[in-house]
Every structure is written in C-alpha cells, then in structure tokens.
Structure 1
Amino acid sequence: MKAKTILSFLALTVATTGMQAQRIKGSDTVLPIAQQTAERFMALNPTARVTVTGGGTGVGISALLDETTDIAMASRTIKFSEKMKAKAAGEDLEEVPIAYDALAVVVHPSNPVKQLTRQQLESIFRGKITNWKQVGGDDRKIVVYSRETSSGTYEFFKESVLKNKNYMSSSLSMPATGAIIQSVSQTRGAIGYVGLAYVSPRIRTLAISYDGKHFANPTLENAVNKTYPIVRPLFYYYNKKDSVSVAPLIDFILSPAGQEIIKKSGYIPMK
C-alpha cells in the first residue's frame, strides 16, 4: 500500500472518535469478512459502532437506495436497473472491490462423482441432465439447490456457469448459503454452490473444468493461480455523499491488516 494511502488511513482512523454508527448489509458471501473486519475495526476504534447483516446482494443494494444501510455488500456488480433507480433518486453510488471469492460446487459426501465440466453443470442446473448416472455416478435423481434470485451468488453462477441461460424451474431456492450446506449435506442426490469460505466436511466439493480437459478443485491456491475457473470479485457499495463517514471502515478493509483477515478467512485478497 502506498505511503500516502497509509497516512490517509491513519488520519481517518483518528477521525472515528466522533464517528456515527455504520450499517453494512447485503451479500451472505461477503458477510463473514465484513463481520470479522468490522470487529477488528471496532477493537482498534472503541468509539466506532458497526452493525453487519446479510440477506443477499439485492437486499443490500435496495437498502442502500432506501438509505437504511450505509454500505451494501455485493457478490456481483450493480445491475443497470439498480443504477437507474439510484439515478432517479439523485444518488451517486461508489463501487469498491474488497476481495475475490471462488464459488465451489458441492454435493453430498457419499456422491462418487469427483468432477464435472461447465457444460455438464449447465445441463444439470437447467434440467437437461437429471440423473447422476448420466455423469458417471449412481442411478440417483439429481436434486438441484440454488440461491434465491436476489442473491448475487445466484446471478454470478447464472452468468458464469449457465452463460445467462435460465435455471430449471424445479430447482430449490435457498434463502442463504447455510441453508444450501444443510440441504446438500442431508440429501444424497443433491448439488449446490457456495462461497469457498463456507466449505465444510458436511459436504464435498467437485473439481471443475471450463475447457473439458483441465480440472481444478476449489482451493484458495487454485483460485489465486487462476486454474480454478469460478472466481468473482466482491464489493462494497456506498453513496458518495457518505464518503467521509464510511472512509475509515473501507480504508481498513483495504489495508494490509484488513486484507490479512480476508486471506485467513479463506477469501482472496486484492493484492
């Protein structure tokens, strides 16, 4: 980080003595690092008050437009329709990339399938492949779990894996990442997708290939060296009129200390 930026960060940290409470809302994917960096920020600045809640990217951006949150967490870029709403309301939003995340495709631990191509994933999530035996697994119906439409993870998976084609109508929409993990862990034929930091022994990840030849598992190392293909940036959005009040918090998450928290949490730092 440049010396000028560090000095700016230190000055803004001192300025938090009279800082108003900050509200962060949105993406469940961003939620863990938002909570951890906010906790560390408050520990360094005892007078600061930061609240962090999830609900999905769309919920966070809507809250930002309604001025019921100060920062929106997002796992996708802002939509054109959301930009138009902001413009109509006379609001000027700023986008700040804070980290990267790998999206892991997960199945029940008993599933013998180890890898899938992007084309196979597209066919599964669009309802063209309906039985695991069609991709080398057991004779078992595939149960597709997805996030709800307000989720940035839902949007990114649709864009990157489905190439903007629609999900199958019978996919089961889950309100949060935790619900997908729970459902997949309890359903032998299940498949779903979660942020890399949410991966646990309760579910198993699949190696993925976009070219049909080179498969890679969703790990931090593979995401950093770009061998794993399903990787996306994560963002904070805020209203430019609130720049002064949100700057200390945003500068902290982008600082070496904040980015180290991000790395230790299983996400990919900006640098």
Structure 2
Amino acid sequence: MRTLFASLFTLALIALASGCRRPSGAHGEDAGTPSLPVKGPQGTVTVKGSDTMVILGQRWAEQYMKEHPGAKIQVTGGGSGTGIASLINGTTDIAMSSRPIKDTEKQQVRQRHPEGPVEITVAKDGVTFYVHETNPVEALSIPQLESIYLGDITNWKDVGGKDAPIIVYSRENSSGTYAFVKDEVLGGEDFTVRALTLPGTAAVVHSISQEKNGIGYGGAAFAKGIKELKVSRDAQGEAIAPTEQNIQNGTYPLSRGLYFYLPGKASGVAKSFIDYALSPEGQQIVTQTGYFPVK
C-alpha cells in the first residue's frame, strides 16, 4: 500500500510540474529563449518616383536595411511626375525626382501639408545625349539638339555626320528627365512626333546600342555601351564632356540635381534613411552607382 501511494504521489508531482511549464514554441520561439529587442529605428518608409534614381534608391535601401534590421524601405520607380503625384495624394513618404518640383505641384502639396514640400538634394547628375559607338559625331550644341528634337533637323549630315536619317528616342512624359530636356533644351516646346517614346533610360540606352543612326538621352549612370556626346551652349561655345568635375562645378551645360521631396520635416525612419543617404557611406554609393556626390 505504501509503495502504491508513493507511486501515485510521484505521478501527481510530475503532472503538476508539466502543467506549470509554458509550452515550447510559444510565439514561434522556445519559451526559455527570450527574443532580443531590435535596436535602431523601426518602421516602414515608401520611396517612389524617378526612374533615373530608382537603382540608386534601391542600393541605399538595401544597405540601410542591413544596418537597421527594424526598418523597411520600399523603393519603386514610375517617373518623377508619378512620385510627386504620390506625394500630393499621400501615398508615398518620399518622392524621388530628377527635376525640381513645379510651383503648381508645391501648391497641391500644401493643400494637404501646409509646411511642405521639403526639398533635399541627394546627388548630382548630368543629362547626357547618347549615340551609337560608331557614330562619327562627337559634340552637338544645345541649339542643334533642340532642332533635332523638334524635328527641324532629320539627317546626320546636317550636324557633321554621315548621310543618314536621325532616329530620335525620348522618354515618356511622366519622366523628370523628359521634363528637364523639354525645359532646358527645347525651351518648353513639344518633342517631334517622330520621337520614339521608351519607358526608361535603360531602354533608351539599349535601343541606341542597336541603332547606328539613333540619338537618345538620360542620366550619366546609364551610359554603357554607347557614346556620350559633348555639349556646348551655342555654336560658338566650347563643347563640354559630362565628366564628374564638369557636372559638379556646373560647367557641363545640362548639369542637374537629384532630389528627395517630403511633405514636411523628416522624422523617425525617414530622417534616419535620408541622413544615411547624405552620409559619407551613402554618398559613396552615389559614386558607385555612376552619379556624383553632393558637396
């Protein structure tokens, strides 16, 4: 009888001890291994806009998230106009733009965010004009580029090249690069109806690499496998190459800034991400991507 009582008492103790333990695997973890708190900024930031800047934005985001595991940075393209429209309607935290925001767009942002928009220059770039590597033309003036893109000049022989039709490539009208060329090269006039519109700078570069008589434009970072033209302000001016030094000091006629636009003063993860983009490490990524750092 004593032996039976001792056995029953032992089983009762085991059952009681089992019932007091927290089940293993609660919340996907062993209850005996408490999770460590994530350090640094936490949250999600959306970044949208310029196709020229999308690769740069993605590389910033990838490296930033490695160093800040509690943060999530979502970067998508669509064009500068698309990014600014998203800023206006409140569907993005940061708009990327390869052109300055327009006054009408500023007013629309202020309807929702009276203190905005906030403009931050995060890199420098030069809009370059591309031709096929075999094209003998080395330089064009802005008036010549204007005549080509307005459709007044249609043969390469009229600008020092061979007797061949000029195949004109352009970007879609939501592109900040399109808007920049329209304003700075065409004086606000519309592109020729002969221009072949492509969805991104990479597509323009690819087309130029295949078309010996083509001309297109885009950011300096995309100029691979094609020739970049030197550009002069007028027929008498010096033709300037789109080098880092010439873009940094503004000597190259088509230098420009690359921008982040925010609805108001940055805070939290957004501020931390922007600080990273402007840091020495972030600006090194600018150089590695093919653009030029802010000084």
1:34 pairs with one of 32, 49, 57: 57
2:81 pairs with one of 48, 51, 58: 58
Contact 1:132 / 1:141 at 8 angstroms: preserved in 2? Answer: yes
2:146 pairs with one of 94, 97, 122: 122
Distance in 2 of aligned mates of 1:76 and 1:171: 21
Q: CA deviation at 1:89?
A: 3.1
TM-score, reference length from structure 2: 0.82
2:90 pairs with one of 58, 67, 86: 67
Distance in 2 of aligned mates of 1:257 and 1:63: 28
Distance in 2 of aligned mates of 1:147 and 1:209: 22
Q: Which has the larger displacement, 56-65 or 78-87? A: 78-87
Contact 2:113 / 2:264 at 8 angstroms: preserved in 1? Answer: no
Distance in 2 of aligned mates of 1:253 and 1:137: 42
2:255 matches 1:231 = yes
The structure with the larger Rg is 2
Q: Which has the larger displacement, 85-94 or 62-71? A: 85-94
Q: CA deviation at 1:85?
A: 2.0
Distance in 1 of aligned mates of 2:84 and 2:90: 10
TM-score, reference length from structure 1: 0.89
Distance in 1 of aligned mates of 2:213 and 2:228: 14
SS at match of 2:267: helix
SS at match of 2:43: coil
Contact 1:57 / 1:72 at 8 angstroms: preserved in 2? Answer: yes
Contact 2:79 / 2:175 at 8 angstroms: preserved in 1? Answer: yes
Higher relative contact order (CA 8 A, sep 6+): 1
CA RMSD in angstroms comes to 1.6
Distance in 2 of aligned mates of 1:125 and 1:211: 16
Q: Which runs of at least 4 in structure 1 moved beyond 3 Å after TM superposition? A: 241-245
1:158 pairs with one of 157, 182, 188: 182
SS at match of 2:283: helix
Aligned length: 255
Distance in 2 of aligned mates of 1:138 and 1:233: 35
SS at match of 1:49: strand
Query: Any stretches of 5+ residues in structure 2 without a counterpart?
Result: 1-38
2:186 matches 1:169 = no
Query: Any stretches of 5+ residues in structure 1 without a counterpart?
Result: 1-13
Contact 1:220 / 1:266 at 8 angstroms: preserved in 2? Answer: no
Q: CA deviation at 1:225?
A: 3.8
1:214 partner amino acid? E
Distance in 1 of aligned mates of 2:220 and 2:244: 8
Q: CA deviation at 1:112?
A: 1.3
